[in-house]
Amino acid sequence: MSLQFEFGPQASALRGQLRALVGDHVPEGYLGAFTDDPADLEVAQQFCHTLAEQNLLCMAWPAEFGGRDASVWEQTVVREEMWAHHEPRGAQYMGVNWVGPIIMRHGTDEQKRQHLPPIADGDVIWCQGFSEPEAGSDLASLRTTARPDADGWLVNGQKIWTSYATMAQWCFLLARTSKREKKQQGLTIFLVSMDDPAIEVRPLRTMLGPHHLNEVFFDNLRVTEANVLGTVDDGWSIVQDVMSFERVGIARYARCERLLAASPKVLGDRWETLPGELRGRWIRMLTQCRRARLMAYRVVELQSSGQIKPGDAAAYRIAVTKLDQDSAEVLSDIAAEVSHDDPRAAWFLGEVEDHWRYSQASTVSSGSIEMQRILLSRAMLAAAK
């Protein structure tokens, strides 16, 4: 008996449509929007507009917010195809996957009117102001404060590891608005414009390349009630929603599977001469891809029915992070056997190197793998009681 991963003819046609669009609009050798070449970011921005024009960018959103009421499984197809091809939506995936849905769930009517159409049109980039120098995995220990002032608040503090802050127009900011008995209490989400002069962004150069990570400083940033998402002091409940959307929204197994599947084709006749141990590891990685895919589908189903819990997302996050790192090692060993004279070599070697670099950071992005294990352990212990 074999496992079938397809969602039917409609989803297959959608995959074909997306792959054709990538082939027509994304240059060969494209390694994402965040390289030293400004043209790569422009490719991503234009591609988002292309998707939006065909109502494919936010297709699972309700029609009233710029979507087309597609199923979560059709949106999963989009996630898989985008991630498999180096996310040609660039940083837009953040707005599509979780900023928009969170605003739909918790925002005011005015916030929905202001923020959802630009996301659906591919016109705006968001960044996430969560982590701080001493509050990464322990996010609730953050020190950025929003102090009441006149008809609003003054925000002061520092964020770090803020992806895309140099190019973002808006920030999804978490700050402390009051001190409570529990540190998860007294936190508030603000939606703030990045063009405010009270915000300073300092890029952090890393092996992931430019644009990815930044420090962000807030010096008496003035915000008002209109900037508050949800209820003042109850931001932690929104953070929990964000994490469940964020950790599932990236179909990282799709890139692993694409590179693994390409390996025999790139090596050609040399594939049969590889050590049996290496080909055995390659087969195990393909099996891990299938496992991660099944876990993702389970979490997507739970999320769509409103039954997802932190332990569910954590289990998937652990599995896909291990897949990232283990597959990167196998692919690097395979890449070492590739003939550089082969015309396919440049594409494959570039993709494998990029995948390896990304895998090194995957253990800490969106919550460290250690924290995911703690979340999963707590969930399992609670279920056993």
**333 domain residue, yes or no:** yes
Domain boundary among 235, 259, 292: 235
Q: Which amino acid is at 286?
A: L
Bridge-partner residues for 114, per DSSP? none
Q: Say whether both 221 and 278 belong to one domain.
A: no
Please report the pLDDT score of residue 254 as a whole number: 93
**201 domain residue, yes or no:** yes
Beta strand 170-176 pairing with 126-129: parallel
Please report the pLDDT score of residue 1 as a whole number: 36
Element (H, E) at 145: strand 145-149
Residue where the block lists tokens 């283990």: 326
Tokens of residue 47, six digits: 């591609």
pTM of the model: 0.86
Q: Say whether both 211 and 257 belong to one domain.
A: no
Q: Say whether both 144 and 83 belong to one domain.
A: no
Q: Say whether both 164 and 188 belong to one domain.
A: yes
Q: With b meaning 16 or more CB within 10 Å and e meaning fewer, what string describes 267-303? A: beeeeeebeeeebebbeebbebbeebbebbbebbebb
CATH code, 216: 2.40.110.10
Domain boundary among 72, 90, 108: 90
Q: Say whether both 265 and 316 belong to one domain.
A: yes
- Euclidean distance between CA atoms 300 and 75, whole angstroms: 10
CA dihedral angle for residue 217, residue 218, residue 219, residue 220, rounded to 10 degrees: 180
- Euclidean distance between CA atoms 303 and 77, whole angstroms: 16
Bridge-partner residues for 155, per DSSP? 146, 221
- Report which of 127, 121, 104 is spatially closest to residue 56, judged by C-alpha positions: 121
**245 domain residue, yes or no:** no
Q: Say whether both 272 and 344 belong to one domain.
A: yes
Please report the pLDDT score of residue 152 as a whole number: 94
Domain boundary among 235, 259, 286: 235
Tokens of residue 113, six digits: 């009117």
Computed over its alpha carbons, how large is the radius of gyration of the chain?
Answer: 21
Residue where the block lists tokens 């102090």: 147
**289 domain residue, yes or no:** yes
List CB contacts of 207: < 8 A, sequence separation 6 or more: 357, 360, 361
Please report the pLDDT score of residue 204 as a whole number: 86
- Euclidean distance between CA atoms 32 and 87, whole angstroms: 6
Q: Say whether both 225 and 255 belong to one domain.
A: no
**3 domain residue, yes or no:** no
Tally of domains within the chain: 3
Residue 189 and residue 174 in contact, taking contact as beta carbons nearer than 8 Å: yes
Q: Say whether both 259 and 378 belong to one domain.
A: yes
SS3 129: strand
**21 domain residue, yes or no:** yes
Residue where the block lists tokens 């930044």: 214
By residue range, what is the domain housing residue 16?
9-90
- Euclidean distance between CA atoms 346 and 367, whole angstroms: 33
Angle at which helices 276-304 and 310-335 pack, to 10 degrees? Answer: 150
Q: Say whether both 225 and 136 belong to one domain.
A: yes
Please report the pLDDT score of residue 255 as a whole number: 92
Tokens of residue 31, six digits: 């390694």
Q: Say whether both 215 and 305 belong to one domain.
A: no
**242 domain residue, yes or no:** no
**96 domain residue, yes or no:** no
Q: Say whether both 363 and 262 belong to one domain.
A: yes
pLDDT of the chain along its 385 residues, tens only? 344 556 778 888 999 999 999 999 999 888 888 888 889 989 999 999 999 999 999 998 999 998 999 988 898 999 999 999 989 998 888 899 899 999 999 999 999 999 999 999 999 999 999 999 987 678 889 999 999 998 899 999 999 989 889 999 999 999 999 998 899 999 999 999 999 999 999 998 776 666 678 999 999 999 999 999 999 999 999 998 887 676 566 788 999 999 999 999 999 888 999 999 999 999 999 999 999 998 888 888 887 776 767 677 778 888 888 899 999 999 999 999 987 777 778 889 989 998 888 887 766 665 566 667 776 677 777 777 7
From residue 4, how far is each of 56, 111, 151 by CA, in Å? 24, 41, 57
At residue 135's C-alpha, the angle toward residues 129 and 139, to 5°, is 70
> Quick one: DSSP state of residue 95?
I
Bridge-partner residues for 340, per DSSP? none
